[in-house]
Structure 1
Amino acid sequence: MYQLAAPASAEIEVKKSRFIGMLFAVGSRAEAQLLLAAQRKQHPGACHVCWALVCDGDSGLDDDGEPSGTAAKPMYNVLMHKDLMNVLAVVVRYWGGIKLGAGGLTRAYGQAISEAVKNADLQPVEPQCERRCVLQFADESSLRRLCEQQQITVLDAAYADAVTLVLRMKQRQAEAFEEAARNLLRGALHFSRAPTPRKHP
């Protein structure tokens, strides 16, 4: 999988219609909505601002008035084909006065994003995993310090008879981290796999 190092864009013209394809790195749907609002403000004369979002657990598509399936879906397909993650694809269309038909629209929207991908600086995304860890209250601060040292994110904490932490880490460091945590706490903790994240549509 890959993610964007910086925003990228490209412009194509099809039968006098201008298609401006743009890619943005995003971490959430809320962030994507802010970027979309900025693009709509920047292009008040555009007839369509279509988008496709691939974000961890929260993807989305919008044809913005174009015939269903002719804009966002081909954009989304390019993102999937290129194995991109945490990215918002936007295509701004300026009407050229000539109808393109469903096939023409599908090709144009897909091509606008394909060209933007060619201009993008892509970085490999290292696979992540999540672990649920149950431990005693007295040991929580020690484990949190270990997480900080190894740059492991504590996603969630629940308190009942014991402490349950949900941790996110690089897949390749999971085994060594579990061993270090068991050594640190003299085996007084239990690891299990956290629930699998939601799949993209």
Structure 2
Amino acid sequence: MRTIDKNYKITLEIKRSQFICRIFPAKDSKEAKEIINCISEKYKDATHNCSAYIVTDDEGYDDDGEPGGTAGKPMLNILKKNELTNIVAIVTRYFGGVKLGAGGLVRAYGKSVLEAIKSSKIIEMEKYNIYEILFEYSNIKSIENEIRSSNINILNKEFKEKVNFKIALKTNDNIKYFQEKIKQKGKINYLKTEYLNKLN
């Protein structure tokens, strides 16, 4: 899965109108909609705040008052053409007094998103299952050795009453084999599945 590493912003001037495109990484539709609402509220003085998003659980677009199909849909098409997921694009337009016509709007909104993508860093994301391992301090060395030999990624280490490691395995890797190796030494709990920047 391809997405962007952080937020980006570009500004284009087309026939005296300002088109400000902001693109954001977002993990799901809830986060995507929160970003859109936040930007729309922040720049409510703009003529339009048009948006498009693609996330793992949904996709959508909004023309925000522009003629139907001239803003949000072309923006979404650019995201799809670049094979991006977990991304939100918002184009804030300040009208400059010259009407662009339907074709001109489609080109302007599409170009705004394309230029923002060109300025961004694309990263590969993969789906991982996240687990926690709880164990006694006396087992740190042997568990770390098993993790290393099993080529498992450690995301986080916590040292409290017991040791707690958060680990990530690709979804098609077999946790049972690893569980078998450490069953006398620690307890493994499944936490969630999520997309992470490609590990290893």
TM-score band, normalised by shorter chain: 0.5 to 0.7
- The alpha-carbon deviation at position 25 of structure 1 amounts to 0.8
4+ residue stretches of structure 1 with deviation over 6 A?
A: 182-185
Where does residue 11 of structure 2 map in the other structure?
A: 11
Cα distance in structure 2, aligned partners of 1:182 and 1:75: 49
Query: Would the alpha carbon gap of residues 55 and 169 (structure 1) be closer, same or farther in structure 2, given more than 3 Å must change?
Result: farther
Mapped to 2, the partners of 1:30 and 1:73 lie a distance apart of 20
2:42 & 2:57 partners in 1: Cα distance?
29
Task: Select the residue among 174, 177, 185 that pairs with 2:175.
Answer: 177
Structure-1 separation of matches of 2:108 and 2:169: 39
- Note the residue ranges of structure 2 that are not aligned, 5 or more in a row: 135-146, 155-167, 184-200
Matching of residue 99 in structure 1 with residue 103 in structure 2: no
Q: Per residue, is there more strand in 1 or in 2?
A: 2
Q: Deviations over 1:38-88 (max 9, x none)?
A: 212332321110111111112111111111111111111111111111111
TM (normalized to structure 2)? 0.67
Counterpart of 1:24, as a letter, is F
The amino acid of 1:177's aligned partner reads I
What number of residue pairs does the alignment pair up?
Answer: 158
Cα deviation, residue 28, structure 1: 2.0
Does the CA-based 8 Å contact 2:46-2:94 persist in structure 1? yes
Identity of aligned residues (%): 36
Deviations 1:159-196 (A, max 9, x none): xxxxxxxxx9525xx244354457778xxxxxxxxxxx
Aligned partner of residue 58 in structure 2, secondary structure? coil
- Say which SS state the counterpart of residue 67 (structure 1) adopts: coil
2: CA distance between counterparts of 1:169 and 1:73?
36
SS in structure 2 at match of 1:13: strand
CA–CA distance in 1 between the matches of 2:12 and 2:24? Answer: 18
Structure 1 spans left out of the alignment, 5+ residues: 131-142, 153-167, 186-201
Shift of 1:6: 1.1
CA distance in 2, matches of 1:169, 1:109: 39
Q: Which amino acid aligns with 1:27?
A: K
The correspondence of residues 139-150 of structure 1 with structure 2, limited to 5 A, is: 145=133, 150=152
Residue 67 (1) aligns with residue 67 (2): yes
Offset, 1:117: 0.6
